[in-house]
Amino acid sequence: MKRTLQITVLISLLTMSSFAQKRSQVLPADQEIFLKYGADRLGKRHDAAMQRFRDNRLGAFIHWGLYAIPGGEWKGKVYDGAAEWLKSWAQVPTDEWLKLMDQWNPKRFNPKAWAKMARKMGVKYVKITTKHHEGFCLWPSKYSKYTVAQTPYKKDILGELVKAYNEEGIDVHFYFSVMDWSHPDYRSDIKSKEDEATFARFLEFTDNQLKELATRYPTVKDFWFDGTWDASIKKNGWWTAHVERMLKEMLPGVTINSRLRADDYGKRHFDSNGHLMGDYESGYERRLPDPVKDLKVTRWDWEACMTIPENQWGYHKDWSLSYVKTPLEVLERIIHAVSMGGNMVVNFGPQADGDFRPEEKELAESIGKWMKENGECVYGCDYAGWDKQPWGYYTRQGENVYMVVFNSPYSKHLVVKTPKGIQIVKGTLLNGKEVAVKETSRNEYNVNMPAKDPGAPFVIKLQIEENTNATDKYRDALT
C-alpha cells in the first residue's frame, strides 16, 4: 500500500515536471498543482477593454532612447546587432553611455506629425518605450537621474506623445523594461542575502516608476513588459503577480502582456499548470505562428511584434547589414497574424533628431494606403476556422468571411472549402462588385478572381449562411 502510494507520488511528480516544461500544455483540473502566483484567470478576457485591444489588431512600436544617437556605431566600429543593445555589444561602461544624455536634443521632434503618420498608416495603437534596458526614461521620473528632464531637450517626451496620439484617437501602450542597466541595485541573479536585499530595493524602485507612469498618464491602455528573463526576476514570481494586480487596480481595464509574468516556480508566460499568465501571449517576437501547425494559439489572445530589418528595434544607421522587409512582406505578416486571431505591431526606430528615416515613412504610407481601402478585413476581425488555402488568408467578422488574396492563381479561380454546414451566399469585392462563386462539390467552391487582376493583395468578402439541417444534395461514395 505504502509502496503504491510512493510510486503514485513519484509518477505524478514526474508527469507534473514534464508538463511544466511544455508551454500551453494544460493539465486536467484534478491534476493541477497549487500555485499562489499562477494565472489569475482561465481563458480569454471578455470585457470591453480587452475587446478593444483585440479589435485594434494593428499597432506600431516606437523604440526611442539614447541608442538612437550612436545608431549602432561606437568608437568608429559599426555593430550589426540590435542598435538598442549597443551598450552591451560594445561593452560601454554605464557612466559613459549615460553621457549621451548631453546630446539628447531632438530638434525635429514633432509629436503631432508622429500621431498623424500613425493615423495615416492605419494603426489603432502605439507602443512606446518608456524605458528600455539602458535605463533612460522618456518621462521626467522623480525616481531616476537618467530622464528627459536632465537633457538639453528637458520636456516630457512621453507626455507629449500620449497627448498627440490620443488626440488622433490612437491608444497608447507602454513598453517597460524591468531590467535596468543604469540602476546600481539591479541584479541578474540572487546569490546572497545581500543580493536579496539590494534587489528588493530595486523592485520597490520599479513599483514606484510604474505607479508614477499609471498616475501621470491615466489614458494608457496597456503595459508591455520586457527584460524579465533574468533569474532574479524568475525567483520573484510573486512580484510579477503583484505588479499585474497593482496596475489593474490603478487602471481598470488595463491589459498586461504575458512576458511580465513568472509563477511560484519561475515558469514564465504559461504557469506550471499550462495556463497563460497576463492577458495575452507576447512571445511572438519577429516570428509568427505556423498557420497550420500552431492553431492552438486561437485559444488565447496574442500579439506579435516585428522589425522591418531582420533585428533592429532602435535606430541603426546602416540597414544594409541585414535583409529589409518590403511593405508587401510586412502587410502579409499583419494579415497572417489577424487570420490566426492575433494582433501585429510593426516597429519604428526614430532618428536622434526626432524624424523618421525615409524607409519607415514610405512603409507607413504604403501600408496606410492599403489599410484605407481594405482595413475592413483587419479591424475587429478574427480567426475564421476554415482550411488554409495557398492563395492567402481568411479573416472573419460575424457572418462575413474575408479572403485576403496574396497569390493569384493561373486558373483564375480561388478554391474555398467551407466547414460542414456553412454555405457561401455571395462573394463581393470591397467596392461592392460581385464576383462569381460556383459550388463545385460539397463544401467546395470556386470563387472567381476579379476580371482585372488587381496586381496587389486584394480582398473578397464572402457572405455566409450557417445551416446545419439543410438537405444535402451530395452523396457519399460507397467505398
Binding-site ranges for ligand H79 (CB under 6 A): 63, 82, 84-85, 226, 229, 285, 305, 313
Quote the CA–CA distance of 183 and 77 in Å, as a whole number: 27
321 or 328: CB nearest ligand H79: 321
Amino acid of residue 392: G
Phi-psi region of 10 (alpha: psi -120 to 50; beta: other; left: phi over 0): alpha
179 or 220: CB nearest ligand H79: 179
175 or 458: CB nearest ligand H79: 175
Cell of 24: 500551453
Tell me which DSSP letter residue 248 carries: H
List, in order, residues 6 or more apart from 79 with CB less than 8 Å away.
Answer: 72, 73, 86, 89, 90
List, in order, residues 6 or more apart from 321 with CB less than 8 Å away.
Answer: 78, 80, 309
User: Could you tell me if 139 and 147 are in contact, meaning their C-beta atoms sit under 8 angstroms apart?
Assistant: yes
In the complex, minimum distance from the CB of residue 305 to ligand H79, in angstroms, rounded to a whole number? 6
Nearest by Cα to 179 from 87, 277, 99, 75: 87
Quote the CA–CA distance of 137 and 129 in Å, as a whole number: 9
Tell me which DSSP letter residue 431 carries: T
Quote the CA–CA distance of 252 and 257 in Å, as a whole number: 15
Nearest by Cα to 382 from 395, 394, 393, 398: 395
HSE-up of 403 (CA within 13 Å, CB side)?
A: 32
278 or 375: CB nearest ligand H79: 278
In the complex, minimum distance from the CB of residue 67 to ligand H79, in angstroms, rounded to a whole number? 9
Quote the CA–CA distance of 183 and 468 in Å, as a whole number: 62
24 or 311: CB nearest ligand H79: 311
In the complex, minimum distance from the CB of residue 350 to ligand H79, in angstroms, rounded to a whole number? 14
Give the residue ranges of DSSP H helices in 318-420: 327-339, 358-374
Cell of 180: 535596468
In the complex, minimum distance from the CB of residue 31 to ligand H79, in angstroms, rounded to a whole number? 32
In the complex, minimum distance from the CB of residue 320 to ligand H79, in angstroms, rounded to a whole number? 20
Residue nearest to ligand H79 (CB): 313
87 or 275: CB nearest ligand H79: 87
What is the residue whose three cell numbers read 512582406? 329
In the complex, minimum distance from the CB of residue 394 to ligand H79, in angstroms, rounded to a whole number? 29
259 or 396: CB nearest ligand H79: 259
273 or 282: CB nearest ligand H79: 282
User: Could you tell me if 408 and 455 are in contact, meaning their C-beta atoms sit under 8 angstroms apart?
Assistant: no
DSSP states of 142-211 = TT-S-BGGGSSS-S-HHHHHHHHHHHTT-EEEEEEES--TT-TT--SS--SHHHHHHHHHHHHHHHHHHH
In the complex, minimum distance from the CB of residue 84 to ligand H79, in angstroms, rounded to a whole number? 5
In the complex, minimum distance from the CB of residue 91 to ligand H79, in angstroms, rounded to a whole number? 12
80 or 285: CB nearest ligand H79: 285
91 or 469: CB nearest ligand H79: 91
In the complex, minimum distance from the CB of residue 312 to ligand H79, in angstroms, rounded to a whole number? 9
User: Could you tell me if 134 and 97 are in contact, meaning their C-beta atoms sit under 8 angstroms apart?
Assistant: yes
HSE-up of 84 (CA within 13 Å, CB side)?
A: 25
Q: Is the dihedral of CA 147, 125, 275, 24 positive or negative?
A: negative
In the complex, minimum distance from the CB of residue 314 to ligand H79, in angstroms, rounded to a whole number? 7
73 or 285: CB nearest ligand H79: 285
In the complex, minimum distance from the CB of residue 341 to ligand H79, in angstroms, rounded to a whole number? 21
63 or 221: CB nearest ligand H79: 63
In the complex, minimum distance from the CB of residue 326 to ligand H79, in angstroms, rounded to a whole number? 22
